Structure 1
Amino acid sequence: MPNTLPSQLVRDILQHIRVNALEAGTRLPERGLAEALRVSRSPVRAALQQMARQTLIERHPDGGFMVGERSHEQPVLPEETESPMESIYLQIAQDRLAGLLPDRITENELMRRYGVTRSQLSDILRRIVQEGWIERLPGHGWLFIEAMTSPDAYAQGYRFRLLIEPAGILEPGFTLDVPRLLQCREEQRVLTEGMVNVVSPAQIFDANTRLHETIAACSGNTFILDSLRRLNRIRRLMEYQKAVDREQALRRCKEHLVLIDLLLERRTVEAAEFMRQHLQSAAREKQLSAAG
């Protein structure tokens, strides 16, 4: 499937349906989805039409679309081959990390540098905006947002996560969001059953950060969740720079399943300790891979 914006939004809309536990028959308004996904209505409309053709959703008798019986059946992490636009997206990320792109840049400069049309660039920029590492300047141009660019900063990020993520599980206001955790569990299960070997690095990163941020949200502590979200935004590019070790990724996904099950069984003290061990192990592996 081409990696156009509507094709990307199919996955996002399925995720929206499942995270919010929308039942079959629930209407899917274009405007509401566009606001939730931070895009215009036109690509949302195209994505909904594509989903209807694939019978992932159904047409509402009064017009528009609604959640269908199959909306909860398809894995959120479909097999994906790298498209030309995916390659350009990753090249922009790599050039930004390498210091080859300035903080401020215009669309014309990006079009000339990467040989893309304005329409193609628009799709790529919408994706980067959604991921939180670029923003439009008032009037003209774009501004890249800070990113981790050094191994030391990357290690500090993991040490910070060790401080806040296990503690978040032990917060007095910690309350399980069971539907969201179950959706995360399904994503991790799909990955462990073979998809981790075929999906893109971005999909692995998104599935894993979605789980960790869901758990942080359960803490009830806004500062923990906001801090983790900001950290994930600025470490995203550093993750893309690293070669994906599929065996390590599989091991992490299996650990995620154990962590989710501990939480669902209300074994919060064990879950907090498991989270600590999980992050420590991941940090060691990342440092070893960087050194190698």
Structure 2
Amino acid sequence: MAGRRRAARHNHVSLAQQIITLALDRGMKAGEHMPEQAIADACGVSRTPIRSAFKILEKNNILIWKEEAGYFLSQGAQDGLSEAKVGVEDLEQGLFTRILADRSARRIADVQSVSALARRYSVSRVEVLNALKVLARDGIVTQLPGSAWAFQPLLDTPRAIAESFAFRLTLEPQAILTSGFTLDPTRASALRAQMRAFQDLPDSRLTAAGFQRLDIDFHVMIAEGSANRFVQGTLLAHHRLRRMAQKEAAAPPFRQRQAMEEHLDILDSLERNQLELAADQMVLHLRRSGIRRPEAAGRGMSPLLRGPQQAGARIKGTAS
């Protein structure tokens, strides 16, 4: 019974996606009846969240309500139901993305109520709660007593950014050293090609946004490679906060190229399974990125932490 109650609290949008998957798996066709109790049993939840999910599907023209008859599928597998599922995912994505954008621009305060957000975005309380639950999983908001939610501090001040680098300096090298660390070779290869292409751009075409996207994508890949779920989850939440903030100071072109080269050095070590070296290279990379003065970052460091790039063999665009 406790498990059933926990299941009943599942995100309603996710439950709507689950119902679509169920219909697809069963090969259901347009016009077929969707009985509440049967769907609730199949999904392992009570009828209450099913009703909320049904309303989401009705709003997206996937279900039709008929008085005294219930809900019916308006489209089946042959009528674009798979594509409709993507639309439901976009519904959830769209709202929490709008909330993040407004929070980043400080158009909404640190503490918000569900009702206030529902009025602001002209959506239901259920949709707001779904979006807030996603943000809560990412560590961006925390529920307070009652219906209030508090946003975590943004990375929009020098102190916050410095604390971000200190946090990452503690945890990211350890992510590499966790037992069972794995690197996705396909993703690493694609990211390597993108970083090389970025390095080949003239200075006039290097943008802060392009650099930040590749930088965060690289560090997210490292976080996802950690076999420790707590390390992985904490880092991924922090990188989502970084992606939301878009406030880190733009590095000059030479530092952008140097940072990409450091990424590539770390990838080389990871692909050779030299995890300790990769972790040391990550320390150097983060210290350089935090200081923004690569010529000073290596002072007083051991030769190992300076890494092979100190010899100048692979760094592009840096002064000797």
> With structure 2 as the length reference, what TM-score do the two structures score?
0.48
Do structure 1's residue 223 and structure 2's residue 276 form an aligned pair? no
Question: How many angstroms apart in 1 are the aligned matches of 2:293 and 2:240?
Answer: 18
Residue aligned with 1:263, SS: helix
Q: How does 1:151-230 map to 2 (within 5 A)?
A: 151-194=158-201, 197-198=204-205, 200-230=207-237
Q: Closer, same or farther in 2 for the Cα pair 1:219/1:109, shift >3 Å?
A: closer
Question: CA RMSD, aligned part only?
Answer: 4.6
Question: How many angstroms apart in 1 are the aligned matches of 2:174 and 2:119?
Answer: 46
Report the identity percentage.
26
Kept in 2: contact 1:202–1:240 (CA 8 A): no
Kept in 2: contact 1:262–1:268 (CA 8 A): yes
- 1:165 offset after TM fit, Å? 1.0
Do structure 1's residue 247 and structure 2's residue 254 form an aligned pair? yes
Q: How does 1:27-42 map to 2 (within 5 A)?
A: 30=83, 38-40=89-91
Q: Closer, same or farther in 2 for the Cα pair 1:234/1:267, shift >3 Å?
A: same
> With structure 1 as the length reference, what TM-score do the two structures score?
0.52
- 1:194 offset after TM fit, Å? 0.8
Residue aligned with 2:290, SS: helix
Kept in 1: contact 2:155–2:247 (CA 8 A): no
Count of aligned residue pairs for this structure pair: 198
Q: Which runs of 5+ in 1 are unaligned?
A: 1-28, 44-88, 111-125, 288-292
Amino acid corresponding to residue 158 of structure 2 in structure 1: P
Question: How many angstroms apart in 1 are the aligned matches of 2:87 and 2:218?
Answer: 23
Aligned to 1:19: none
Cα deviation 1:147-206 (Å, max 9, x = unaligned):
123322221211111111111111111122211211221221121111775365334322
Q: How does 1:1-292 map to 2 (within 5 A)?
A: 30=83, 38-40=89-91, 95-96=105-106, 101-103=108-110, 104=112, 146-194=153-201, 197-198=204-205, 200-236=207-243, 238-240=245-247, 242-285=249-292
Residue aligned with 1:279, SS: helix
Amino acid corresponding to residue 181 of structure 2 in structure 1: F
- 1:276 offset after TM fit, Å? 0.8
Q: Closer, same or farther in 2 for the Cα pair 1:253/1:274, shift >3 Å?
A: same
Amino acid corresponding to residue 30 of structure 1 in structure 2: E
Residue aligned with 2:214, SS: helix
- 1:263 offset after TM fit, Å? 1.0
Q: Which runs of 5+ in 2 are unaligned?
A: 1-81, 122-130, 144-148, 295-320
Higher RCO (Cα < 8 Å, 6 or more apart)? 1
